[in-house]
Amino acid sequence: MEYIPGKSGTQLLEATSEPTEREAVYRQMALGIQELLRIPIPPNPRPTAIDGGLIRHIIFEQQEAPRPYQSVDQLEQHFNLFLQWTKREPKILGLSREPMVFCHSDAWPGNFIINKQGHVTVVDFSEVSILPSSFAKYAITPSVKDHEYSLLPWIDVPSTDGVDNTRALFAATNPMIMGAGSFAKAGKRIPGYDRIPSPIPPVS
């Protein structure tokens, strides 16, 4: 643990009702997420938490994936099988073509420390995973994180032209909430369920 000077976004929001000051806090949060998205990803990554464990993301029950994945294709197959079972559209297409990013799945004001100079520090990296960029866009979309200001217009999420699976992830949301057990069951049908994941390379 390391002491970080400043106040959390939550503390700053609790201390003011001035709209411009409150908006400034959310803009600083967006800046922190933007910088996280700019960090280079090691070559040939697999979807994983940054410690090499199960993916941490708000879309999953208790924010943790029910299985490991050796590749993005396995993750796509898992979601599409679940979408097929629950008769939801659209399906995920070209997930492996999306840029892989460091995705913070908990854009809560308490996870951002802002000092007097306006510098922001992102904390709680236990909720960060290496994922295709649609998962990052999902995590900051207002209907998931219902802030008074949407972070989405202030963040440039990396993307590939013609590929955006955010809508498909949202299509899985309600059936995921109602039937997380079915999602876990679908995951057992996808190859690689019992394989021990290879370690992720260190981030330089």
Q: According to the model, what pLDDT value does residue 173 have?
A: 92
Express each pLDDT in 188-204 by its tens digit. 999 988 766 666 655 55
> For residue range 146-182, what is the model confidence (pLDDT) as tens digits?
668 889 999 999 999 999 999 999 999 989 888 889 9
* Helical axes 166-178 vs 72-85, angle rounded to 10°: 60
Q: HSE of 83 in the Cβ direction (CA atoms, 13 Å)?
A: 20
Alpha carbon distance 153, 11 (integer Å): 24
Provide the pLDDT confidence category of residue 112 given band limits of 50, 70 and 90.
Answer: very high
- Say if CB 190 and CB 77 are below 8 A apart: yes
The CATH number of the structural domain formed by 7-187 is 3.90.1200
Share of the chain above pLDDT 70, in %: 92
Distance from C-alpha of 203 to C-alpha of 39, rounded to nearest angstrom: 9
> For residue 180, what pLDDT is reported?
80
Both tokens of 8, joined, read 């959390």
Report pLDDT for 144: 53
CA-wise closest residue to 99 among 33, 43, 168: 43
Model's pTM, two decimal places?
Answer: 0.91
